[in-house]
């Protein structure tokens, strides 16, 4: 019977629950994301999730983790896209980061909203976040190699770059960028400008 999908009881809940939660998150936002609704959407009883997640936070944490994985993949894809023009990698990585935040605002907010802070230093969620950060470190290292960023502590420079992109992303999601219209063009413009200003500083003369 390995014909249909998997072997045991339901198929695999846990993934189904994460998927259901993700769907609710994207359509109705975190505020309305309830454990019972997730269970309903997955077609199981309201207590079933507790066989796979210790509590609601654990489910949210898993969803957040999936978000970091997705973001990591997206940044990596961008990096390979621009592997022949390495001078652009840092800029494009930043723009991609911001685009992700705007495309999945609730997912993005969940990723950086308390779940992370609550996660201990050795939680898998934190590891996933650091893998995303590693993508930024890569971009900085590449930029250093091609002379668009000065030599120096790569990790530190990457933290700086990450902060810039993250700040732009968060303010954009919150609707505080490009005050009146807040259009895609507005955000792209200010993001491009800001990242470029930082790059000038990171070149160092």
Partner DNA sequence: CCAAAAAAGTTTACACTGTCAACATAATGC
Partner DNA sequence: GCATTATGTTGACAGTGTAAACTTTTTTGG
Check binding of 190 to DNA (CB under 7 A).
no
Q: If we measure between CA atoms, which residue out of 107, 89, 116, 78 comes closest to residue 169?
A: 107
Please give the Cα distance from 136 to 132 (Å, whole number). 7
Neighbours of 82 (CB within 10 A): 17
Q: DSSP character for 16?
A: H
Interaction partner, residue 56 (DNA, a second copy, none; CB < 5-8 Å by kind): DNA
CB of 18 to DNA, least distance (A): 13
36 binds DNA (CB under 7 A): yes
Q: Which does 112 bind (CB under 5 to 8 A by kind): a second copy, DNA, none?
A: a second copy
Residue 162's binding partner out of DNA, a second copy, none, with CB under 5 to 8 Å set by partner kind:
a second copy
Q: Give me the count of residues in the chain.
A: 205
Q: How far apart are CA 30 and CA 63, in angstroms?
A: 11
Note whether 29 binds DNA by CB under 7 A: no
By the rule CB under 7 A, 47 interacts with DNA = yes
Nearer Cβ to a second copy (80/181): 181
> Considering the complex, what minimum distance in angstroms separates the CB of residue 36 from DNA?
4
- What is the 8-class DSSP label of residue 152? S
| Residue 176 binds which of a second copy, DNA, none (CB < 5-8 A, kind-dependent) | a second copy
Query: Per the structure block, which two tokens stand in for 6?
Result: 């998997």
- Find the part of the chain contacting DNA (CB under 7 A) among 44-52, 128-136, 159-167, 176-184: 44-52
Which residue, 36 or 155, has its beta carbon nearer to DNA? 36
| 199 touches 91 (CB < 8 A) | yes
- Binds 190: which of DNA, a second copy, none (CB < 5-8 Å by kind): a second copy
Residue with tokens 């009146």: 180
Does position 9 interact with DNA (CB under 7 A)? The reply is yes
Q: Which does 7 bind (CB under 5 to 8 A by kind): a second copy, DNA, none?
A: DNA
Binding footprint of DNA on the chain (CB under 7 A): 7-10, 13, 34-37, 44-48, 50-52, 55-57
């Amino acid at each position: 019977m390995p014909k249909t999908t998997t072997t045991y009881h339901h198929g695999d809940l846990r993934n189904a629950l994460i998927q259901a939660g993700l769907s609710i998150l994207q359509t109705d936002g975190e505020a309305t994301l309830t454990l019972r609704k997730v269970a309903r959407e997955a077609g199981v009883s309201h207590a079933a999730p507790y066989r796979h997640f210790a509590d609601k936070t654990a489910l949210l944490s898993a969803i957040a983790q999936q978000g970091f994985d997705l973001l990591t993949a997206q940044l990596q894809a961008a990096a390979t896209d621009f592997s022949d023009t390495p001078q652009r990698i840092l800029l494009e990585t930043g723009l991609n980061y911001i685009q992700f935040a705007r495309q999945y605002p609730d997912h993005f907010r969940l990723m950086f909203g308390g779940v992370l802070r609550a996660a201990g230093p050795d939680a898998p969620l934190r590891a996933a976040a650091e893998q995303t950060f590693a993508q930024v470190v890569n971009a900085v290292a590449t930029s250093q190699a091609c002379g668009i960023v000065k030599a120096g502590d790569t990790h530190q420079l990457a933290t700086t770059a990450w902060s810039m992109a993250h700040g732009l992303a968060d303010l954009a999601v919150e609707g505080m960028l490009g005050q009146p219209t807040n259009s895609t063009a507005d955000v792209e413009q200010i993001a491009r400008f800001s990242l470029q200003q930082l790059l000038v500083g990171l070149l160092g003369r």
